């Protein structure tokens, strides 16, 4: 099978994450997209929600799509949080499958990927979802630093640029504002019942 690997903190998972995953599945002809939340963030702030809360929210978010799956390899003890270390573990779990890694343009442009060439060598493709505020020339500089033989594995998904982000949602919730309809309804219910990110919005 051809699997999409969608990694990130998902703090929280939101509707744009699901749109990107479904779009990548269709555009790249993927059999399934596996969401892989991480608990080790080297270039961003520590997640506001716990690993179990983020895992539970993802489980709720993808429950209605049988082409989506969830893997907790990067939440296990010993996980480094580096994609170069994660992919061999996933290949061991899915030895007959090829991988397409899915990420947002902000992740590629704003983080220094460790052993990026090693990551690309273990993938059929590395696909990028456009994000508002990330200039094309910024991504071009990142891609140009990759050896020519591997550049063809990097693709940009044919999608509109969208501004929605977990950072925005957390900020709104911390201010006591509603983020309903920015996240899947079961995730919104989970956030409000458990008061994950801030004051509970009763509206």
Name all domains of the chain by residue range, CATH numbers in brackets: 2-164 (3.40.50.620)
Q: What angle do CA 156, 70, 163 make, to 5 degrees?
A: 40
Both structure tokens of 143: 């891609």
Which pLDDT belongs to residue 171?
Answer: 93
In tens digits, what is the pLDDT along the chain, a chain of 203 residues?
A: 999 999 999 999 999 999 999 999 999 999 999 999 998 776 667 899 999 999 999 999 999 999 999 999 999 988 999 999 999 999 999 999 999 999 988 887 777 788 999 999 999 999 999 887 777 777 788 888 889 999 999 999 999 888 778 989 999 999 999 999 999 999 999 999 999 997 644 44
pTM comes to: 0.92
Phi/psi-derived region of residue 133, left when phi > 0, alpha when psi is between -120 and 50, beta in every other case: left
* pLDDT tens digits along 63-109: 999 999 999 999 998 899 999 999 999 999 999 999 999 998 888 77
How are strands ordered across the β-sheet holding 32-37? 68-70, 32-37, 2-8, 98-104, 125-129, 154-156
Which pLDDT belongs to residue 27?
Answer: 97
Which pLDDT belongs to residue 199?
Answer: 60
Distance between alpha carbon 178 and the CA centroid of its chain, in Å?
A: 23
Nearest CA-CA partner of 105 in 150, 155, 172: 155
Which pLDDT belongs to residue 203?
Answer: 40
Q: What angle do CA 141, 45, 187 make, to 5 degrees?
A: 105
SS3 for 131? strand
Q: Where are the beta strands (DSSP E) in 80-192?
A: 98-104, 125-129, 154-156
* Measured distance CA(21)–CA(8) in Å, rounded: 12
Which pLDDT belongs to residue 200?
Answer: 45
* Measured distance CA(34)–CA(58) in Å, rounded: 11
SS3 for 57? helix
Q: Where are the beta strands (DSSP E) in 21-65?
A: 32-37
* First-residue to last-residue Cα distance in the chain: 44
Q: Residues 189, 56: contact at Cβ < 8 Å?
A: no
């Amino acid at each position: 099978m051809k699997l999409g690997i969608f990694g990130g903190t998902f703090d929280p998972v939101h509707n744009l994450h699901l749109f990107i995953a479904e779009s990548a599945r269709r555009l790249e002809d993927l059999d399934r997209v596996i969401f892989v939340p991480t608990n080790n963030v080297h270039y961003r702030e520590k997640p506001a929600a716990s690993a179990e809360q983020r895992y539970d929210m993802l489980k709720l978010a993808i429950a209605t799509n049988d082409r989506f799956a969830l893997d907790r390899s990067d939440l296990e003890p010993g996980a480094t949080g580096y994609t170069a270390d994660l992919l061999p573990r996933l290949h061991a779990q899915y030895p007959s499958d090829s991988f397409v890694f899915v990420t947002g343009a902000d992740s590629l442009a704003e983080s220094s990927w460790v052993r990026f060439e090693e990551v690309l060598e273990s993938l059929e493709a590395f696909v990028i979802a456009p994000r508002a505020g990330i200039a094309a020339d910024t991504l071009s500089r990142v891609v140009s630093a990759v050896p020519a033989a591997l550049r063809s594995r990097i693709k940009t998904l044919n999608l509109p640029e969208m501004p929605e982000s977990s950072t925005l949602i957390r900020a709104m919730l911390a201010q006591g504002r509603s983020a309903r309809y920015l996240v899947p309804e079961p995730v919104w219910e989970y956030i409000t019942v458990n008061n994950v990110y801030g004051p509970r919005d009763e509206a």
